């Protein structure tokens, strides 16, 4: 009996990668830009320095990939929350299209915004 290939393993890999970004990168950014710099614990980078960092292509790719992985993490978690928490697994196709369609739209928006940086 032949097995039908699914994209489910790829979605779980993207979910895991987004979870790593959410767990390791976002708290550091929140600590720095939400507490340490505004409260004066650390001296904030200058505007020119931030523009120089964000102007580098590797930084732009990193921001884009991080946004995409975070969106995949959200979509997969939200999908299974709807399945298990609200018990609406019978709407599988609609939920998949809305969740991962949202990821596609968000990824396109993130790509547009990241490459529009000065």
d(CA 99, CA 17): 17
- pLDDT tens digits for range 12-42: 999 999 999 999 999 999 999 999 999 999 9
Q: What is the pTM of this model?
A: 0.84
Residue with tokens 């393993």: 9
Residue range 10-115, CATH number? 1.20.1300.10
- Asked whether 66 and 116 are in contact (CB, 8 A), the reply is no
- pLDDT tens digits for range 35-78: 999 999 999 999 999 999 999 999 999 999 999 999 999 999 99
């Amino acid at each position: 009996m032949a097995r039908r290939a699914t994209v489910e393993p790829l979605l779980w890999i993207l979910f895991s990668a987004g979870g790593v970004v959410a767990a390791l990168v976002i708290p550091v950014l929140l600590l720095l830009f939400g507490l340490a710099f505004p409260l004066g614990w650390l001296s904030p980078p200058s505007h020119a320095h931030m523009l120089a960092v964000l102007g580098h292509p590797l930084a732009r790719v990193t921001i884009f990939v991080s946004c995409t992985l975070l969106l995949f993490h959200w979509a997969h978690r939200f999908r299974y929350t709807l399945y298990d928490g609200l018990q609406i697994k019978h709407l599988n196709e609609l939920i998949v299209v809305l969740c991962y369609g949202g990821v596609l739209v968000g990824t396109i928006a993130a790509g547009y915004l990241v490459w529009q940086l000065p």
